[in-house]
């Protein structure tokens, strides 16, 4: 096996040439010692094979000529010619042609083998994945082009997490993830080695991570929204029992102070007060249940309807602020895949921000446009444009950061929540500047599957 390997890798050189010539000379000597025995000349096949294999067809043919001449000389030197010397020349010619045909066949065989090898290497080099072979000590025996490109030539071979198994490996130096598969193969020299195939899965990993983060943000968003809604509802609902409790308390205090009281009346008032406290507790409990349960419910939804709904909901608020709300809704838009309540929340937030941005705008110019349009081939777009103070480039970067606000009583939740909601819908939220003053907030949502 090892000798074959030497032959496969042999490069033309003076060493091989010397060996071929020595072999020819050796055979010639044996030939001479044996008389003109044609059978010994079979041994000339060895140098002819070597020269044809290593140096090519022409060298093989030249070697055949030399062999035939040697043989002829050895016969003629015997000097006991009892037949016509022309017969020996004829024999020498036959010997030459036999050896030359052998040389041609050998060189053709080598070319064919080379082609097969080339095809194999072309396939391996053309792969996207890094393919490499390493021995037990971790020495690299073969590496294809993608491997050399990724890891540099000598490189430390990546190994799967468990020997002989496949798995994901993080390469800390390159900050990339690879899926590595391995199996044991027998190498050309007979050793058992490991063939590895490493596919770069960094992109896929990033996407997984992004979608996990989005999912998390969505979860948080859903809770924040509910908390926001809940806060105002709670304040409203709790007000009643708390006021009632305060009332019953005051009544008791008054009676006790005046001295004109009876136990029955006090007991009844305290019992009622207790009931109200229980009611307040139930309200809180219900709120808690709601917060932990709200999840997005995706369905096909008409964005124009959502906009119309929000415009109606905010009409009073807009009017109070002297803002004229204009809706510019494209006809024939396809439905989008969305949770209507969440998208309403987004538009509601953008409208509220737009109204607040126009506090300093002259009342006659306070115009708010909500526009829908076909986005790219598979999205629908919404734009909310105002004539407000616009966005200072210095705060642009922080706009969507949680708790970032420039308003004295702002919470900095709105835009962050809006973006989380839109991203959770696989959409995009961004803003641009209106050349005539003010800002435009845009978002796009994917069209609902048919
Ligand atoms: P908040 O409204 O509580 O401040 P947001 O996250 O909704 O929180 O907004 C963050 C900041 O973005 C605002 O404080 C404001 O500076 C800026 N902003 C948002 N919408 C607009 C707009 N339409 N025009 C100008 N600035 C805006």
Domain's final residue, options 240, 267, 294: 294
Q: Cα angle at 173 between 209 and 133, to 5 degrees?
A: 100
Same domain for 300 and 288: no
Residue bearing the bigger pLDDT, 309 or 216: 309
Read off the pLDDT of residues 46-88 as tens digits, 9 standing for 90 and up: 999 999 999 999 999 999 999 898 888 877 776 555 667 777 8
Asked if residue 355 has its Cβ within 6 Å of ligand 1, the reply is no
Considering the domain architecture, whether residues 301 and 445 belong to the same structural domain is answered as yes
Do 269 and 383 lie in a common domain? no
CA dist 253 and 266 (Å) reads 10
Average pLDDT of span 29-51: 81
Is the domain of 27 the same as that of 176?
Answer: no
Question: How far, in Å, is the centroid of ligand 1 from the Cα of 415?
Answer: 7
Token pair, residue 430, equals 């961004």
Tell me which of 82, 98, 126 is where a domain ends.
Answer: 126
Q: What percent of the chain has pLDDT over 90?
A: 36
354 in contact with ligand 1, CB cutoff 6 A: yes
In the reported structure, the alpha carbon of residue 394 is separated from the centroid of ligand 1 by a whole-number distance in angstroms of: 13
Which of the 8 DSSP states describes residue 447?
B
For ligand 1, is residue 401 a contact (CB within 6 Å)?
A: no
Q: In this structure, which residue's CA is closest to atom 16 in ligand 1?
A: 406
> What are the DSSP E strand ranges found in 282-342?
299-301, 324-329, 336-338
Q: Say which residue, 411 or 23, is predicted with more confidence.
A: 23
What are the two backbone dihedrals, phi and then psi, of residue 357, each rounded to the nearest 5 degrees? -70, -15
Cα–Cα distance, 353 to 357 (Å, whole number):
6
Longest dimension (CA), the chain: 164
| Residue bearing the bigger pLDDT, 227 or 364 | 364
Q: In the structure, what pLDDT confidence band is assigned to residue 394 with cuts at 50, 70 and 90?
A: very high
384 touches ligand 1 (CB under 6 Å): no
Please tell me the residue having the least CA distance from ligand 1 atom 23: 354
Identify the CA nearest to 67 among candidates 23, 117, 6: 23
Percent of all residues in the chain with a pLDDT value above 70, rounded to a whole number: 90
- Look at ligand 1, atom 10, and give the residue with the nearest C-alpha: 405
Among the three residues 246, 273, 294, which one is the final residue of a domain in this structure? Answer: 294
Instruction: Identify whether the C-beta of residue 151 lies closer than 8 Å to the C-beta of residue 196.
Output: no
206 assigned to some structural domain = no
pTM: 0.45
Q: Please indicate whether residue 383, judged by its CB atom, sits closer than 6 Å to ligand 1.
A: no
Q: Residue 170 domain-assigned? A: yes
Determine if ligand 1 sits within 6 Å of the CB of residue 386: yes
The CA distance from 184 to 188, in Å, is: 13
| Domain boundaries, position 388 | 296-450
**Given this model, what pLDDT does residue 13 score?**
84
pLDDT of residue 1: 44
Q: From ligand 1's centre to the CA of 362, what distance in Å?
A: 19
Considering its fold, how many domains does the chain have in total? 4
Q: Which of 224, 394, 415, 431 to mutate to test the pocket of ligand 1 (most atoms within 8 A of CB)?
A: 415
Average pLDDT over residues 261-268: 90
Nearest atom, ligand 1, residue 352 CA: 2
Q: Are residues 20 and 55 in the same domain?
A: yes
Contact by Cβ (8 Å): 284, 234: yes
Q: Flag whether 211 is in a domain.
A: no
- Residue 84 confidence (pLDDT): 72
Does the structure show a pLDDT above 70 at 289?
no
Higher per-residue confidence, 254 vs 211: 254
Is the pLDDT score of 413 beyond 70? Answer: yes
Relative to the CA of 406, which ligand 1 atom is closest?
14
Flag whether 209 is in a domain: no
Same domain for 89 and 178: no
Same domain, 378 and 420: yes
Nearest to 385 by CA among 375, 400, 370: 370
């Amino acid at each position: 096996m090892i000798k074959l390997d030497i032959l496969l890798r042999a490069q033309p050189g003076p060493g091989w040439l010397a060996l071929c010539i020595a072999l020819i000379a050796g055979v010639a000597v044996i030939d001479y010692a044996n008389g003109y025995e044609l059978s010994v000349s079979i041994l000339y096949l060895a140098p002819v094979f070597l020269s044809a294999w290593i140096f090519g067809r022409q060298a093989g043919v030249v070697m055949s000529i030399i062999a035939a001449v040697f043989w002829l000389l050895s016969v003629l030197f015997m000097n006991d010619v009892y037949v016509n010397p022309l017969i020996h020349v004829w024999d020498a010619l036959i010997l030459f042609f036999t050896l030359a045909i052998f040389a041609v066949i050998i060189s053709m065989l080598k070319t064919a083998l080379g082609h097969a090898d080339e095809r194999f290497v072309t396939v391996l080099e053309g792969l996207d994945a890094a393919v490499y072979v390493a021995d037990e000590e971790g020495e690299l025996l073969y590496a294809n082009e993608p491997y050399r490109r990724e890891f540099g030539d000598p490189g430390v071979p990546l190994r799967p997490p468990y020997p002989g198994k496949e798995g994901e490996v993080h390469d800390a130096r390159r900050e990339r993830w690879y899926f590595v598969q391995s199996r044991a193969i027998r190498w050309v020299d007979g050793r058992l080695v490991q063939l590895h195939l490493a596919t770069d899965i960094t992109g896929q990993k990033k996407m997984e991570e992004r979608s996990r983060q989005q999912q998390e943000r969505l979860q948080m968003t859903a809770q924040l929204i509910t908390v926001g809604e809940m806060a105002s509802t709670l304040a409203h609902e709790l007000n009643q029992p708390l006021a009632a409790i305060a009332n019953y308390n005051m009544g008791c205090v008054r009676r006790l102070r005046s001295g004109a009281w009876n136990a029955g009346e006090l007991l009844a008032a305290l019992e009622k007060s207790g009931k109200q406290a229980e009611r307040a507790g139930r309200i809180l409990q219900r709120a808690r249940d709601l917060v932990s349960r709200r999840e997005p419910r995706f369905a096909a939804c008409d964005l124009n309807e959502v906009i119309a709904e929000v415009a109606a909901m905010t009409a009073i608020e807009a009017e109070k602020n002297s803002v004229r709300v204009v809706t510019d809704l494209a006809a024939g838009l396809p439905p989008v895949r969305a949770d209507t309540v969440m998208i309403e929340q987004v538009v509601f937030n953008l409208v509220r921000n737009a109204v607040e941005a126009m506090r300093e705008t002259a009342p006659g110019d306070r115009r708010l446009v909500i526009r829908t349009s076909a986005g790219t081939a598979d999205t629908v777009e919404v734009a909310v444009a105002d004539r407000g103070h616009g966005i200072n480039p210095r705060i642009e970067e922080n706009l969507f950061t949680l708790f970032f606000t420039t308003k004295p009583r702002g919470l900095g939740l709105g835009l962050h929540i809006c973006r989380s909601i839109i991203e959770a819908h696989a959409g995009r939220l961004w803003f641009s500047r209106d050349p005539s003053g003010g800002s435009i907030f845009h978002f796009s949502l994917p069209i609902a599957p048919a």
